[in-house]
Amino acid sequence: MLNETIRSKLSQVSTATLCTALFKAGLRNQYIQDVRPVQPKGKNMVGEAFTLRYIPAREDLNQLTVFQDPAHPQRKAVEDCPPGSVLVIDSRKDPRAASAGSILVSRLMVRGVAGIVTDGGLRDSPEIGTLAIPAYHNRPSAPTNLTLHQALDIDVPIGCGDVAVFPRDVIVGDDEGVVVIPAHLAAEIANAATEMTVFEDFVTEKVLEGRSILGLYPPTDPAVAKEFSQWRVANRR
């Protein structure tokens, strides 16, 4: 479960560091491919995955009237996604029609949802970029959702950008992209990434001072370990 401690840690590490921590844990394929922020936010998105699955739209089942049904899965997902969670949409990597638009994303924002991710496209993307909720997609896409997508079910395991996403997996996004942390590893990965971040900050400082990376990164020179300990103390990390 994503408690506040883990959430806080995950809000202060990068997706790059998380990918390395996951790689060490034997998971090489947790970065959602070819997805980017609608607008960089300068801070992390963190939340448990709440999923929405699309299949290709068949014309007779996807007239605009379908949205009149309060149980339509896209509408329902927007109302049901828990505050603090991230809505992750399987759009089959097809950005030729929108996965969602600004009104739905505004509703998610007002409801306290932590963010939205689709491996398709978002419409009204200029407006979405101005909202106080992080949003990730492949590219802007104005055509209405029903043109190519039928929202089918909610909170089932899905694929998104070639990554498996299970409900409750922990989703972290930064200005680079989005990573999926299996639920049972969230604490372990958060801790590992936090430790790695401290060391990377130390390394970056040394590199900017002119130090070679050899011996330092990774720290094969035994003196580095000692220097790092002292740096942690001095920097209260």
Between residue 112 and residue 141, which ones bind a second copy under the rule CB under 8 A? 123-126, 139-141
Residue 146: strand, helix, or coil: helix
The Cβ of residue 6 has, within 10 Å, a number of other Cβ atoms equal to: 20
C-alpha triplet 56, 60, 65: angle, nearest 5°: 100
Q: Considering the complex, what minimum distance in angstroms separates the CB of residue 121 from a second copy?
A: 9
Please choose, out of 4-12, 104-112, 187-195, 225-233, the segment that lies near a second copy by the rule CB under 8 A: 104-112
Q: Considering the complex, what minimum distance in angstroms separates the CB of residue 17 from a second copy?
A: 8
Residue 181: strand, helix, or coil: strand
CA distances from 122 to 36, 91, 102, 145, 156 (A): 11, 11, 8, 9, 21
207 scored as a contact of a second copy (CB under 8 A): yes
**Closest CB to a second copy among residues 6, 35:** 35
Q: In the structure encoding, which two tokens stand for residue 32, read together?
A: 């959602």
Strand order in the sheet with 98-100: 98-100, 121-122, 139-140
Residues with Cβ within 8 Å of 198's Cβ and at least 6 positions away in sequence, in order, are: 232, 237
**Closest CB to a second copy among residues 2, 100:** 100
The binder of a second copy chosen from 213, 223, 226, 229 (CB under 8 A): 213
Q: Considering the complex, what minimum distance in angstroms separates the CB of residue 2 from a second copy?
A: 18
Total interface residues for a second copy by CB under 8 A: 84
Site for a second copy in 80-99 (CB under 8 A): 92, 94, 96, 98
The binder of a second copy chosen from 1, 83, 103, 229 (CB under 8 A): 103
31 scored as a contact of a second copy (CB under 8 A): yes
Alpha helices in 91-180 (DSSP H): 102-110, 125-130
CA 37/CA 9 separation, integer angstroms = 21
State the pairing for strand pair 163-165/178-181. unpaired
210 scored as a contact of a second copy (CB under 8 A): yes
Q: In terms of C-beta density within 10 A (0-12 exposed, 13-18 middle, 19 or more buried), how is residue 225 classed?
A: exposed
222 scored as a contact of a second copy (CB under 8 A): no
176 scored as a contact of a second copy (CB under 8 A): yes
237 scored as a contact of a second copy (CB under 8 A): no
Site for a second copy in 44-83 (CB under 8 A): 55-61, 64, 67-68, 70, 75, 78-79
Q: Considering the complex, what minimum distance in angstroms separates the CB of residue 129 from a second copy?
A: 9
